[in-house]
Structure 1
């Protein structure tokens, strides 16, 4: 019998991508919630993940720490493969591009903004936070243009690319970055967060058991 995947995460973190993908794909994962930031609040977690980051997926010998990769991996384990765009489909390159675009281009300036404007704002780095906020907003242009004539990013259906990029827009609303968000992307975010899979994922994280 295959081992049940174990997902270590913090509620509302980038790990939500993985929880969301599991819910959409109907994949049973054991969810273990950690307080944020786990490397300081639960130092014994470093024995499981030396990086001290979340999410982390453990399944037998499999160990994964990148949220978009975990979301893609879990989606491939579901009975319904519609969350993944296959190599033979015309939008396969776009699917890969937007899935990687989510963290490499969009979420990165968000995390720096959060450090300067939220976590360490008492250090007088507000100007740096504002600069990264503007950088984040400028980097939304690719999503905005892609969605001008589409409901979802790839293959005329909801996929992991939407989960990965959509999370960045969800995070924007939580950390004070909505000011520069175009209305079209707000509408897109509304479509994503109205999904039952998303709502189940958020509910699971809210009620998840402690990991340690």
Structure 2
């Protein structure tokens, strides 16, 4: 059976697995005490989450894990093939969800919540927030004429970007506009999202005490 280690970005993986109907187990990881988790460090010596174990295979990048699962357990309408006109948009937003949105938002979170107070408006933090909003503009523009990021059907690209938007929202570092709110209403009312939230109890508790839509 597949094992998913950790929530956080691991929520993307759990959500996809619920959409696919593939059996797995979630193994919690306390990212703030990972040094006390030798079993996890044996799987992922770098100590970040998520990690996926599939037999002898181990992966530790959430977007790569999504692509791996779709390839291994497809074909699925959650992926877009190269002959589809939406293929380029699918790839772009699948990766932008991490590289352009969640990655910069991580820097904002660290800069604002974990840095000493005198450093909370450091140039790098401001740059990260500017980067997030710049890339967000691509999402808003794309959604102006379509329901989802790869045409009019929900795909893994929407899992990737929805997670990033929710990360910014739940940490209080981003207030969605009307386009993003409508979009998140479409993606987060899916049954697989609800099942993933029930599996990821730490994520569910965090969402319940965070700003909502």
Give the TM-score, by structure 2 length. 0.86
Unpaired runs of 5+ residues, structure 2, are 204-213
How far apart in 1 are the matches of 2:24 and 2:114?
A: 31
How far apart in 2 are the matches of 1:20 and 1:166?
A: 11
Partner of 2:4: 7
Provide the aligned C-alpha RMSD in A: 2.0
User: Aligned runs of 1:55-204 on 2, under 5 Å?
Assistant: 55-78=50-73, 81-120=76-115, 122-128=116-122, 129-179=125-175, 181-204=176-199
Q: CA deviation at 1:9?
A: 1.1
Deviations 1:129-168 (A, max 9, x none): 4453333222201000110011001042000000001110
User: Aligned runs of 1:13-32 on 2, under 5 Å?
Assistant: 13-32=8-27
How far apart in 2 are the matches of 1:45 and 1:123?
A: 33
Contact 2:101 2:165 in 1 (8 A): no
Moved more, 100-109 or 42-51: 42-51
Q: CA deviation at 1:38?
A: 4.9
Q: 1:38 to 1:147 in 2, by over 3 A?
A: farther
Q: CA deviation at 1:65?
A: 0.8
Whose RCO is larger (CA < 8 A, sep 6+)?
A: 1
SS of structure 2 residue aligned to 1:99: helix
Contact 1:21 1:72 in 2 (8 A): no
Q: CA deviation at 1:204?
A: 0.4
